Structure 1
Amino acid sequence: MDWVKQLNASINYIEEHLTGDISYEAIAKIAGCSVYNFQRMFSYIADKPLSEYIRSRRLTLAAFDLLNDSDRILDIAIKYGYESQDAFTRAFKNFHGVLPSRVRNESVQLRSCPKLSFQITIKGENHMNYQIESYPAFKVMGISQKIETSKAFEVVPGIWEQAWKDGTMQRFIDHFPNYRPAGFLGIAAGGQWGDSEHMQYIIGVTSDMDVEGCKHVPAMEGMEEFEYPAATWAIFEANGELPDATQKVYKQFYSEWLPNSGYELADLPVIECYLLENEQEVWIAVEKKNS
């Protein structure tokens, strides 16, 4: 099954379970990647978070039920996963702009979120500079913080800001081993099957490489050491102002590069490398598709 078929199969799973429990683990397994990678991919291709898409689809169908069925509002609320009529009413009004009770009594304007369908799009508007590299195992020393996966994009900038304020970044500068992946590293780890609600975000530097002659730099006091196995990495140049430069790379990677590459995602963290001013790299682990 190719990447686009996997994505559409995951959307079909969502559609079939809108009136029941939706497992993020099951969605990611169908797509062949981790929960975090799927959520990241989805947000860049669909321009909205996965949770928002699911909520919008449910509220779209709920409006159709209010228009066409005579079921109680409470029954419809429970059908689409809301524990109370009040919770459903708040969500319905936030999405449609009107109370659900008005749908049956008045002519009102409603919103609709259609089912997504992914297709390969070859635009060719912007080229991507990248290399595929089989890279040895390596270690990273740094700090980590457990965060809610759904709030990652909001929380991560604050983690960097705090690291500059509390002297963490200066300690990296003072003891910089200058190994690859180079520069300051931002690593999104976890959010895998079995724990989709949280992920681990790491700020660090490479402290060891599994190559002859490389000197291991032990983790400094108060820091942890993280190990990553030998793997194949697609390394993309992401130069320009942040966050636009990296976001552009992710969007092109998931929507254009990956579907046409002959590769699929490996179950390893995504690594962002911050080098000189406005110079970045994005490391994404990949595997050759089984023919």
Structure 2
Amino acid sequence: SKSFPKFSFVISIKGGNVMEFRIEEKPAFYLAGVSRRVPMQFEGINNEIVKLAQSITEEQREEMHALQNMEPCEIVNASYDADENFLKEEGELTHLIGVLTTESQVSDQLDLVPVEACTWAVFPNEGPFPSTLQETMAKVYSEWLPSSDYEVINAPTFSFTKMDESKKDYAYSEIWIPVRRK
């Protein structure tokens, strides 16, 4: 498989905050996991997503683990097919909890979503969870995208979070946004 060089950039955002990001190319892959339509919500805990996470069976977990064969090798939260007014926090989107895989065969226990080869803008962030992740996501849309050379394309966005065992409610997360040059 071809390997692509990774580029890292730091861009300064108005107000002097620096937003770290990198641009990565990824070949086509699948998201394999469990999904459902959930209401749009930008802050706090989305109870429908919590319910979705709690619904995952041991069997589904094991299958996802077996399918997982691509970086980032984490359980991801992906969203796609948002209603048009999602930036106004109206309507719904499809939320999937799952893994990245190149495998196109899954059991009927899991949903499989194809993702085309594309460019990704990746935003690492670290701090209190979930507020840091949510603030970073908001800044990507309100500040980074308008001032960057990129625009979002119609493909799933996803993120993963690694909780810090030693600090309560503290985490490292990455947000992956599918983009193309303007």
Deviation per residue, 1:90-123 (Å, 9 max, x gap): xxxxxxxxxxxxxxxxxxxxxxxxxxxxxxx711
1:258-269 to 2 correspondences below 5 Å: 258-269=145-156
Q: What is the SS of the residue equivalent to 1:175? A: helix
Q: Does 1:124 align with 2:16?
A: yes
**Greater relative contact order, per chain length (Cα 8 Å cut-off, separation 6+):** 2
1:93-242 to 2 correspondences below 5 Å: 122-125=14-17, 127-149=18-40, 153-163=46-56, 166-167=57-58, 170-171=61-62, 174-175=65-66, 177-192=68-83, 197-208=91-102, 216=103, 218-242=105-129
After TM superposition, give the deviation of residue 130 of structure 1 in Å. 1.2
After TM superposition, give the deviation of residue 288 of structure 1 in Å. 1.4
After TM superposition, give the deviation of residue 169 of structure 1 in Å. 6.6
Question: Structure 1 unaligned runs (5+)?
Answer: 1-120, 209-215
After TM superposition, give the deviation of residue 248 of structure 1 in Å. 2.0
After TM superposition, give the deviation of residue 191 of structure 1 in Å. 2.2
Larger Rg: 1
The 1:203–1:137 alpha-carbon spacing in structure 2 relative to 1, beyond 3 Å, is: same
Q: What is the SS of the residue equivalent to 1:239? A: strand
> 1:275, 1:250 → 2: CA distance?
16
Equivalence for 2:144: 257
After TM superposition, give the deviation of residue 183 of structure 1 in Å. 0.4
TM-score, structure 1 as length reference: 0.47
Q: Does 1:280 align with 2:173?
A: yes
Q: What is the SS of the residue equivalent to 2:127? A: coil
The 1:255–1:199 alpha-carbon spacing in structure 2 relative to 1, beyond 3 Å, is: closer
Instruction: Compare the two structures and name the one with the higher strand fraction.
Output: 2
Q: Is the 8 A contact 1:182 1:273 kept in 2?
A: no
After TM superposition, give the deviation of residue 171 of structure 1 in Å. 1.8
The 1:197–1:249 alpha-carbon spacing in structure 2 relative to 1, beyond 3 Å, is: closer
> 1:241, 1:176 → 2: CA distance?
31
Q: Does 1:247 align with 2:134?
A: yes
Instruction: Compare the two structures and name the one with the higher helix fraction.
Output: 1
The 1:274–1:220 alpha-carbon spacing in structure 2 relative to 1, beyond 3 Å, is: farther
> 1:142, 1:198 → 2: CA distance?
19
After TM superposition, give the deviation of residue 275 of structure 1 in Å. 4.3
Give the residue type in structure 2 aligned to 1:281.
E
After TM superposition, give the deviation of residue 276 of structure 1 in Å. 6.0
Provide the aligned C-alpha RMSD in A.
3.0
Q: Is the 8 A contact 1:235 1:282 kept in 2?
A: yes
Q: Is the 8 A contact 1:150 1:197 kept in 2?
A: no
After TM superposition, give the deviation of residue 153 of structure 1 in Å. 3.5
After TM superposition, give the deviation of residue 238 of structure 1 in Å. 2.2
